[in-house]
Structure 1
C-alpha cells in the first residue's frame, strides 16, 4: 500500500476549512514558489507599490531613515526585484531615484533607470565564486592554494613556521578562501589603506613608533602603489605584500571577512585555466547571460554610469578586481540572480551545494557561505524561517546588495551612490524590501498553493472509502495542512493518535519532481508531525525545546508501512502546476 495521493486515484474537490496548531516546518519553502508576481491577481504589485511610496517619502524627508540615514534624497539609487518563474517581474518591479548631483552632472548618466551602471563593490565576490564553480567546480574547494600559486608554495617551503606572524599557506584551501574561513588578512596595504601613513599624522604624537617609509623592510611592498595615481599593485609585489602580513586566525577557525582571499582565488583560477580572469568572466559568464552592462571596465561608456558628485575614482581599476571592482545594473543583476537560482550555468547539484551556509557568525541571524551573507528572516504570519542568500558591497561613493530567496525563486538588487557613505542607505532599502515585499512573496505562494493544491481528494475506486483534505491557513502555520485523512474507511488521524505518532500533519514541498514545473508530472511532498498537547515550548531550555518540538529534521521518514513512508504524499499535476489527483 503506497501512502501517497496517486495510489488512491483521488479526484480533487474544492474545500476550505480552519484548523488548530501547526507542526514545525522543515527548513525550506512552505509552498511551491510563486509564479505570479506581476498581475492584478497577485499581492506582490501592491506590496511593491508600498515600498515605492516608502522610498518616495524618504527621499522627500529630511528626517533620518531608521535614525541612521539623513538626507536620503541626496542618494541616487536603482532597486529591482526578479523571479525565475515570472520574467515580467524584472521590468515591472523597479524603482529609481536620481539625486540633484547626478541630474546636474556633466559626466556620466543624468537619470537613473534599469540600465544605469554602478560599481557593485563586493557583490563582485559572487561573480568570482560563480566563475570559479563554472570553470573548475567545487571539487577544488579542498585543495591548497599552494598547488596553484607557485610563489606561495615556494614561500611556504622556505619559511620557518611562525604561527603568530606568518600564514601557513599549505593549510589554506580554495574553499576556505571563498568562504572567509582562511584566516588570512583582509587586505594588503596600499597608501590609501594605511590610515596613519595616508593621513599624514604625527605617529609619535599618536603613541606609535615612527616608520622609515624608505626602508623596504619596514613597509608593505604595495605601499608605494596609490590609487590616486591610478596604479595597481599586481604580480610579484602583490604576492610579496600578501606574505608580509600576519594571519588573523588559523584556517577554519572563525569567519573573517577578506578581500585578499578573493584576489588569491582569482589568481589560482587563472593559473588552473590558463585564462585571465577578465577573459574567463567575459567568455563563460557575461556573454552567455547577455550581461551587457556588467564588467571590469564599466566606465568606458560613461553615458549610463552613475557618478555621484563627479567622483573621480569611479573609473579606477585596482588589483581588487575579483573582490570589489565590477560594475553592473539592476537589469543585469536580475539576469545574474535568475541564472544562479535556475542553475543556468551550473549543474543543479552544484547550485544546491552553493546555496548553503558553511559557518555561522556570532549573530543568530547571520550565517556565512561562499561568499554569501545569509540573513535568517522570520516570516511574520507563519513564523517560518526564510534564509536569504545575500551579498553586500560598499566603497567610496557606492553601495550595493544582491539578495536571493531560493524559497521563492526570486530576489532583489539594490544599487546606490552618493557623496556621503551610502552603505546605511542601502541597508535601509534592503530592510524595506524584506519587511514588505518578502512577506508578499510568501503570501502569494500560499495563495497559489490554495488555488492549485487545497481541496478534498477522493478515491475513484468504487467501494473504496479513502479521502484526504488539504487546506492552506497561514494563521495556523506554514505548509499544506492535512485537515482529514481517511484510508479504506479508517480515520488515519485516530490511528496515528492511538499509535502516539501525531494528531497534526502539514505538507511541505520537496524538490523531487518527475518533470519540470511547466510539465505534467508528479510532485513529492513530505509531512511533518505535530502533537497539539506538546506544541508549547514557552519557558523550555534549548535542548528540551527541540525534544518537545519533535526535532523535526530528525523525524522525517520515521514511520512507514510496507517500506513506504507515512509522511510521503505524491501529487499529480498538470502543465499549470495544479493538482489533478
Structure 2
C-alpha cells in the first residue's frame, strides 16, 4: 500500500506543478520495445536510405586504411538477408591469410569469447550461478597459501565467490597473470625495482614465450592480491574469472571446455567457421607480419581464444533472441539482465554482457539497451551486440594497428555507435509503419457505445487519440477516478494516454498496457530540479497495473490477431468490453 500512496503523491505533485510523468519529450515508456519489432525492415525505404548513409560513412573511414580490414553485419532475426553487410579488404595484407574479406572471413574475436563459457555454465543442469565456485574447484582455497600475508588485503575470499560473480566481474579478483611486464624488458627506468629472477613467471604465450598453463595458474595466481571484496559496488574486469569458469565446466562434465562448447553450442548452430584454436591461416585475415594471429592464451583460453566470422556470430545472436540455445525463454531473458554497475552511468555489466544504455539513438529520445561484448587483442578488435527491442544482431570485426593517416584510429565500438546512430532510426520507422498496419485505427462496439482510436505520432508506442467506454470519455474523466477522499484537482494541462506492448503473448493474442501522463514536457524541470536523481518523475515501472476493477486492470488491453498478424479486435479487460476493428490507417 505504501508504494501506492507514493505514486499518488507524485501524481498530485505533478498536477500541482503542472509537469508530466515523463522525462523524455513528455513521454515515459516502459523499458523495452515500445512497438513490435519490424519483420520486413529490409523493404522499408527509410531503412534503405539509412543503410546507404552508413555504408557511405564506412567507405570514407576505410578509404584511409592501408593495412586494416573491416567486416560488419546487422541482421533482423525475422529476415534471411542482412540489413547491413559490409566488408573492406586493405591493399596491404599478409600472404598467409585470406586475400579478400567478406562475412565468411575468420577473425580473432578476443574477449567476445567470454560469452561461451558463461553459456556453457547456463546449459549445465543442476548448476546455478548462485553456487560457490569452491563447490566445483576447491583447490582455489589453497591459492591463499601463496599470499604475502593471511589477511583480507592479500587473500581472496574464495568461499564467498559464486559462479555468477565470476561471470559478471563481481568476484573482485585480479585481472590476469599473463601480461606481466617482467619478461619483456628492463622497466627500472620507470621506477620499478630490479627483477627477482627467481620470481619470473616465465610464460605468457606472447613474443615467443610459452603459454601459461593450468599448473602455472595454481602455482602462482595466489600471489595476486584481491582488487575488491566479492560483490563490491563496482565491477572489476577479470580475464582470470573466465579461466576459472572453464575449470568449473571441466570439473562438472569431465570434458575439456573447448570440446563442450564445440559439441553443445557451435555444432548444433552450424557454426562451422568458429574455432577454439587457430584455424588454417588461409581462412582468416592477417595483417602484414602480424604476430597476434598465432598468440596463445594457455589457461586463459576461455577469456579470449575464439576465432569466428560475421556469419557465425550472427547465427549465434539469432539463436539467443529466438531462444534456440537449449535455454528456456525465461532463462534467456534472465541471462540478458544487468548484474552489476560501473562508474559510467551509461554502462552496466551482465554475465558477461557490457550493457550500454543510450538515449540518443531513437527519434523519441527514449532509453534503450544494447547487450554487447567487446574484445581486443592488440591488433584484433571486435564487438558483438544484441538489440532486443528491435530483434537485431550486430557484429563488427576490425583488424589492424593504428593507421598513420587515420587520426581517429580503429575502434569496433565506434563503428557500432555509428551503425546504431544511423540505421536504427530507419528500422524504427519501419516498425512504426508495420505496427500501424497491424494495430492502428479505430475499434468499436455499438452495443455498449464503446470505441478506442490508436494513432501514430512522434512519440513512442501508440497515442490513444480517443477512448469511450459505455458512453463515458475515459480520458476526460480519468483524473476524477480515485479511491482517495480528495482526488487529484483539475488541471489545465492535458491528460494523455499511450499504449505499449508487453512481453506477454500467445500465437494469436498480444497483451498491451496503457500509460497515462499529465502535462507538457517543457514543464518537467520545475519538479525535476527539486530532485537529485535524474528523471525521477519517469515512474512508468510503478504505474503499470495500478487501477483495477473486480481485480482486472484498467490499463490492460488484449488484441486478437488474424493469420497475417493484424488485429481484428481488442478487449478492454478492466471494462469488460470487446471492440471490433472498424477503421485502419490509410
Which TM-score band applies after superposition, normalised by the shorter structure? 0.7 to 0.9
Aligned-partner Cα distance in 2 for 1:295–1:537: 53
Match of 1:38 among 32, 36, 42: 42
1:370 matches 2:351: yes
User: Following the alignment from structure 1 to structure 2, what is the Cα–Cα distance between the partners of residues 45 and 330?
Assistant: 21
Q: What does 1:466-477 correspond to in 2, within 5 Å?
A: 466-473=450-457, 475=458, 477=459
Instruction: Give 1:201's match in structure 2, choosing from 164, 168, 186.
Output: 186
Matched, 1:348 2:329: yes
Measure the CA separation in 2 of the matches of 1:330 and 1:542.
Answer: 49
Give how far 1:230 is off.
6.2
- The equivalent residue for 1:11 is none
Contact 1:23 1:535 in 2 (8 A): no
Partner of 1:256: 236
Unaligned runs of 5+ in 2: 1-23, 482-486, 489-493, 570-586
1:310 is paired with a residue of what secondary structure? coil
Q: Distance in 2 between matches of 1:386 and 1:307?
A: 36
- Match runs of 1:146-161 below 5 Å: 146-155=134-143, 161=150
Distance 1:293 1:393 in 2: 18
Post-superposition shift, 1:534?
Answer: 8.1
TM-score scaled by structure 2?
0.85
Is 1:80 equivalent to 2:69 in the alignment?
A: no
Q: 92, 101, 112: which is aligned to 2:101?
A: 112
CA distance in 2, matches of 1:211, 1:257: 27
Cα shift at 1:302: 2.3
Give the structure-1-normalised TM-score. Answer: 0.86
CA distance in 2, matches of 1:231, 1:383: 51
> What are the residue-to-residue correspondences of 1:268-347 with 2, within 5 Å?
268-299=248-279, 301-319=280-298, 320-345=300-325, 346-347=327-328
2:425 corresponds in structure 1 to 439
Aligned pair partner of 1:537 in 524, 542, 566: 524
The answer to whether the 8 A contact 2:146-2:220 is kept is no
Distance in 2 (CA, whole Å) between partners of 1:525 and 1:362 is 35
Cα distance in structure 2, aligned partners of 1:43 and 1:72:
30
1:266 is paired with a residue whose SS is helix
User: In structure 2, the residue corresponding to 1:313 is in which secondary structure?
Assistant: coil
- Separation of aligned partners in 2, 1:94 and 1:507: 34
1:536-572 Cα deviation digits (max 9, x unpaired): 3225247488897362111111111121111101111
State the partner residue of 1:559.
547
Judge conservation of contact 1:182–1:251 (CA < 8 Å) in 2: yes
Verify the 8 A CA contact 1:22 1:504 in the aligned structure 2: no
- Output the CA distance in 1 between the equivalents of 2:187 and 2:497: 69
Whole-angstrom distance in 2 between the partners of 1:76 and 1:286: 25
Q: Is the 8 A contact 1:230 1:316 kept in 2?
A: no
Match of 1:511 in 2: 503
Residues 170, 307 of structure 1: alpha-carbon distance in 2 compared, 3 angstrom cutoff:
same
The alignment partner of 2:52 has SS state of helix
CA–CA distance in structure 2, aligned partners of residues 296 and 542 of structure 1: 54
CA contact (8 A) 1:255 1:359 kept: yes
Counterpart Cα distance in 2 of 1:142 and 1:423: 41
CA distance in structure 1 between the aligned counterparts of 2:212 and 2:125, rounded to whole angstroms: 27
CA distance in 2, matches of 1:154, 1:199: 29
Deviation (angstroms), 1:414 = 0.3
* 3-state SS of paired residue (1:194): coil
Rounded to whole Å, the distance in 1 between the matches of 2:515 and 2:187 is 65
Q: Give deviations 1:487-522, integer Å, cap 9, x for gaps.
A: 11111112203336782111111111122xxxxx11
Q: Specify the alignment match of 1:580 in structure 2.
A: 568
Is the contact between residue 357 and residue 369 of structure 1 (CA under 8 Å) also seen in structure 2? yes
Q: Distance in 1 between matches of 2:29 and 2:429?
A: 16
